[in-house]
């Protein structure tokens, strides 16, 4: 008898093999988590919002999706003492980016800088 596999289970397996299948913003999130020591998800969301201009609500949505995919772990609301971190699967994804890391970061940074320069005029 064949076992039905949910799309989430399938996605987890595919992502470990093909990190580029993640949306670019989720790739950026994993890279930023991998590059920095992060105290909490809240401080990380504030950092990304400030650094790249993403709405905080959008970043929380992305973090929850990454958590559902088993790529990150962080404290639930009201839970203390659990830093935002990559899981083993998340670390595999992070390592899979290699030279692409800075390209992805620069792509989002340049978008944010371009948008800021237009809003000044």
Average pLDDT over the chain reads 78
d(CA 37, CA 59): 18
d(CA 55, CA 45): 9
d(CA 25, CA 27): 5
Name the residue ranges covered by the structural domains of the chain. Answer: 23-113
Q: Which two structure tokens, joined as six digits, stand for 106?
A: 């620069």
What pLDDT is stored for residue 62 in this prediction?
A: 95
What pLDDT is stored for residue 111 in this prediction?
A: 66
The model scores a pTM over 0.85? no
User: Which residues sit opposite 85 in a β-bridge?
Assistant: 73
What pLDDT is stored for residue 101 in this prediction?
A: 73
What pLDDT is stored for residue 63 in this prediction?
A: 95
Q: Which two structure tokens, joined as six digits, stand for 102?
A: 């800075």
Asked whether residue 22 carries a pLDDT value surpassing 80, the answer given is yes
What pLDDT is stored for residue 114 in this prediction?
A: 54
Higher pLDDT, 54 or 101: 54
Fold of 23-113: Arc Repressor Mutant, subunit A (1.10.10)
Q: What is the pLDDT of residues 49-99, one digit of tens each?
A: 998 999 999 999 999 999 999 999 998 877 777 789 999 999 988 888 776
Asked whether residue 8 carries a pLDDT value surpassing 60, the answer given is no
């Amino acid at each position: 008898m064949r076992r039905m596999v949910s799309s989430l289970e399938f996605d987890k397996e595919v992502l470990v093999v093909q990190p580029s299948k993640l949306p670019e913003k989720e790739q950026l999130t994993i890279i930023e988590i991998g590059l920095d020591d992060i105290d909490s998800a809240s401080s990380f969301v504030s950092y990304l919002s400030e650094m790249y201009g993403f709405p905080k609500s959008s970043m929380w949505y992305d973090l929850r999706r990454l958590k559902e995919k088993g790529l990150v772990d962080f404290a639930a609301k009201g839970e203390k003492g659990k830093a935002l971190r990559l899981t083993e699967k998340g670390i595999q994804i992070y390592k899979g980016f290699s030279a692409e890391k800075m390209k992805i970061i620069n792509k989002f940074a340049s978008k944010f800088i371009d948008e800021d320069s237009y809003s000044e005029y």
